[in-house]
Amino acid sequence: MPAKTSAETSPYAKAEAEFGAHEERILVLQGGGALGAYQAGVHEGLATAGFAPNWVAGTSIGAINAALIAGNPPERRLERLKAFWDLVSSRGSGFSPLAGMDLMRPWLNRMSAASATVFGIPGFYVPRVPAPAFAPEGSIAALSYYDTEPLRATLNKLIDFDLINRGEVRLSLGAVNACTGEAVYFDNTTHTITASHVMASGALPPAFPPSEIDGEWYWDGGIMSNTPLLHVAENPQINALIVQVDLFSGTGDLPRNLDQVAERAKDIQYQSKQRFSTDKIRQIEDLRSALADVLTMLPEDKRSDPKVKKLEAVSHRGPLSLVHLVNRHDTRSDNFKDYEFSRATVTDLWHGGRDDIRHVMTDPMACRVTDLGNGVRAFDL
């Protein structure tokens, strides 16, 4: 019997065979505050499996994680992500429950969230003093409860923006224009990315102030679309393996108290609207197939027409595999889970993301597989 090759003995061989070869590897990261530690864990699992993205798209905390990945060489990405999450969870490290004190976890989490509200988060934001009600109307201090300038310093310390702007890894950051209401994507193929662009994507009102870029003001892209999936999938020629990491789950049990009502409402508000996205993709692929069939009916002398050539360009697409992960780990933080940055919670989320992606990569058929047509498949854990 011939010896097995390294590829055959790899624990990720099944995933490599099932997902197939793709020209691009894309990481799509949803917004969700403290829940973003789950995405850092997913990145660790992907890096272990040899998945190095050449395009990262993110919104809000997903934009911060995306910039930390795109703004560092592969060998330093995990180190920089860990530095960021260690920093923002440093104030809550003393709240970690001891073994056998699990019953205290919800109260310790509540204390951590209260600390984040009253004192802010190290390296991220601090309360405004005086409060915005006492600031001059129209000033930046009057527009938010917290000042995010500490985040600017953290980003500039941990991210190499020159590396981002060299374009070795494409970076897209979702935001919304605070005056026009239009969604925008800051992209290093069209913009010179700075800390201000990352902060714009995470400027959730009224907690955080809008970010000014070239005379325009921007807020968190999550208030319009919290997941940048359609932004990366709209190119019909794209041939890609996309890993989409959501922080809010659209499905859940009926709440049993008001705290759970608030948590459930937040989950529904910020979920990725995955059914809408997959339905839209399926409709597009059905139309693409119909267009391809119609074009074959044209006489040969019409094929050279520029309008026909334009239609031919969108009548086919490359294969697309979408691996969809949703954070469903209960950290017992209820409706304040997106601003509960205790070390215990951040660690739980990180490990949860790492374990989930390892599960997918070692056994991809544990996922629910949906064929959306024209070589587009979705894998949902």
What are the CA-CA distances from residue 159 to residues 154, 197, 200, 218, 280 (Å)? 8, 13, 16, 21, 35
For the record, the structure tokens of 277 come out as: 């996205």
Residue found under tokens 């990366």: 232
**Average pLDDT of the residues of the chain:** 88
Question: Tens digit of pLDDT for each residue in 209-265?
Answer: 999 999 999 999 999 888 888 888 777 678 889 999 999 888 888 989 998 898 888
Mean pLDDT by 10 residues, the chain (381 residues): 49 70 91 97 94 95 98 97 97 53 82 94 96 95 97 98 97 97 96 98 97 97 87 80 91 88 87 66 79 86 83 78 90 90 95 94 82 79 77
**∠218-224-230 over CA atoms, to 5°?**
110
Angular region, 50: left φ>0, alpha ψ -120 to 50, beta rest: left
Question: Tens digit of pLDDT for each residue in 343-363?
Answer: 999 999 999 999 999 999 888
Residue 99 has a pLDDT of 47
CA distance 138 to 34: 30
Question: Tens digit of pLDDT for each residue in 154-170?
Answer: 999 999 999 999 999 99
Residue 1 has a pLDDT of 41
CA distance 272 to 280: 13
- Write a three-state SS string for the chain: CCCCCHHHHCCCHHHHHHHCCCCEEEEEECCCHHHHHHHHHHHHHHHHCCCCCCEEEEECHHHHHHHHHHCCCHHHHHHHHHHHHHHHCCCCHHHCCCCCCHHHHHHHHHHHHHHHHHHCECCCEEECCCCHHHCCCCCHHHCCCEECHHHHHHHHHHCCHHHHHHCCCEEEEEEEECCCCCEEEEECCCCCCCHHHHHHHCCCCCCCCCEEECCEEEEEHHHCCCCCHHHHHCCCCCCEEEEEEECCCCCCCCCCCHHHHHHHHHHHHHCCCHHHHHHHHHHHHHHHHHHHHHHHCCCHHHCCCHHHHHHHHHCCCCCEEEEEEECCCCCCCHHHHHHCCCHHHHHHHHHHHHHHHHHHHHCHHHCEEEEEECCEEEEEC
